[in-house]
Copies of this chain bind each other. A is one copy, B any other.
Amino acid sequence: MKNSLRTVSRREWLASSLIGSASLAAGWTSCAAAEPPKVALLPKDAKLRLSSWWLPVPGDIDAQLAFLEKAGVEGVELRGGVLKDPDKYKKALAKTSLIPTALDWSNCSAICSDDDKARQKSLDDLRRAIDIAHDFKAPNIIVVPPRLKSAFKAPDARTARQMLLDVLPKYGELAHQAGTCLTIEPVVRSSVVCLHTLAEVAAFCRELNSPGVALVADFSIMAEEETSLHGAFLSGGRYVRQVHLSSRRRRMPGQESEDARLFADGFKGLKAIGYQGFCSFECGMFSGFCDNLAGSMAFLRQQWDLA
């Protein structure tokens, strides 16, 4: 399928805004490959499947993906950069066995603003993200709760949560139809207005009750906000659809002294919920990423086996 984003007119976009409308569904290819990873009912089925973003890898996109494939990761997480030239990225991906695991692109700051124009633009952007995720067969779109500091006045936590509850059912349904899912990321209290722990986001997802809204958990954020990663993943339960890997200070897993405890505890939780989604590298450090990837993967596999 060609880059549908560029070929869909504003009028067509508006026409497709009806949830479940045939016009919307007809514009999309089969979602089979973008089916969400099933969460097993029995813990014994949990698997460690590694993914990564490609930004820290030097070279052009072909070299970046080739490096990751050779390193042994199964999936890649897409960034906003793919928008610049989707065809190029799709072609590069097609040359590899790498699976797109998520599109990390959207945040809700403007969705919860009191500026009608900005809010509408933000919702239109979310719809574009859904289309792009569909186009790349990425099963998840990462959605960050409204930030405390953004171009918009941050609403209080209760208002922000209610605004999200009001708009996300529609976009969750659109995402579900497109074979993708809006995965909300719990983020540290010092950075976002609400939704800081897996328990809070899971309660939010349960209240929202859309097959197209779930959660993505980040080890670095969890190390900051959660008292028990095992407990947090149990609370996240079937809503956990994507996991980001880094140490507490966003270094590579295994590079900090408390990492063994952190990952053993978290992996115990992922095993307990029978997690089958991807765990994707998302560290804050760029230099040394390539040199340390094999070691970090070995560390993760060891912790997984021990958990």
Contact = CB atoms under 8 A, between A and B. Distances in A.
A228 B156 CA distance: 27
Interface in A40-65: none
A229 to B, nearest CB: 9
Interface in A200-218: 200, 202-203, 206
Contacts of A228: 202, 234-235, 237
Contact of A235 (B157, B158, B226): B226
A301 B150 CA distance: 52
Interface string A159-195: 0000000000000000000000000000001000110
Given A156-B157, A156-B158, A203 B226 contact: yes
Contacts of A199: 197-200, 226-227, 231-232, 235
Question: Which of A194, A197, A227, A230 has most B Cβ within 10 Å?
Answer: A227
A233 interface: yes
A197 B203 CA distance: 9
Given A231-B233, A231-B234, A235-B231, A197 B200 contact: yes
Interface in A220-278: 225-228, 230-237, 239, 269
B227 A237 contact: yes
A263 B157 CA distance: 31
A134 interface: no
A241 to B, nearest CB: 14
A196 interface: yes
Contacts of A197: 197, 199-200, 203, 235
